[in-house]
Structure 1
Amino acid sequence: MRDWTKTLRRASFRGVSFWVEAEDLAGGKRLARHEYAGGRTTYLEEMGLATPDFSVTAYLVGDDSDARAILLTQAAQTPGPGRLVLPMDRGQMAYVEGFRRSRSRDRAGYIAFDFTAIPLSTSGGSMLGVADMTTAVLSNLSGASAGFGGFF
Structure 2
Amino acid sequence: MRDWAKTLRRASFRGVPFWVDMDDHSGGKRLARHEYAGGRTTYLEEMGLATPAYDVTAYLLGDLSDAQARALEVACNAAGPGRLVLPMDGGQLAYVEGFRRSRFKDQRGYIAFTFTAIPAGNTPGAILGLGDVTAAVLDNLTAAGGAFGGWF
Matched, 1:49 2:10: no
Taking every aligned residue pair, what percent have the same amino acid on both sides?
69
TM-score w.r.t. the length of structure 2 is: 0.85
1:112-123 aligned within 5 A: 112-123=112-123
- Shift of residue 123, structure 1, vs aligned partner: 4.9
Deviations 1:93-127 (Å, cap 9, x if unpaired)? 00000000000111000000000000011353443
Give the letter for the 1:40 counterpart.
R
**RMSD over aligned Cα atoms:** 1.8
Where in structure 1 are there 5+ consecutive unaligned residues? 141-152
Find the counterpart in structure 1 of residue 102 from structure 2.
102
Partner Cα separation in structure 1 for residue 4 and residue 83 of structure 2: 23
Distance of 1:48 and 1:116 partners within structure 2: 21
Q: What's the offset of the Cα at 1:131?
A: 5.6
Aligned to 2:28: 28
TM-score (norm 1): 0.85
Report the Cα distance in structure 1 between the residues aligned to 2:86 and 2:12, rounded to whole angstroms. Answer: 7
Q: Which moved more, 1:70-79 or 1:114-123?
A: 114-123
Could you tell me which amino acid in structure 2 is paired with residue 37 of structure 1? Answer: A
Q: Secondary structure at the match of 2:106?
A: helix
Write the distance in 2 (CA, Å) between the matches of 1:129 and 1:47: 34
Equivalence for 2:58:
58
- SS of 1:128's partner is coil
* Aligned counterparts, 1:1-152, within 5 A: 1-129=1-129, 132-133=132-133, 136=134
Greater than 4 Å deviation, 4+ residue runs? none
Gaps of 5+ in 2: 139-152
Q: Which amino acid aligns with 1:6?
A: K
- 1:53, CA displacement in angstroms? 0.2
Residue 144 of structure 2 corresponds to: none
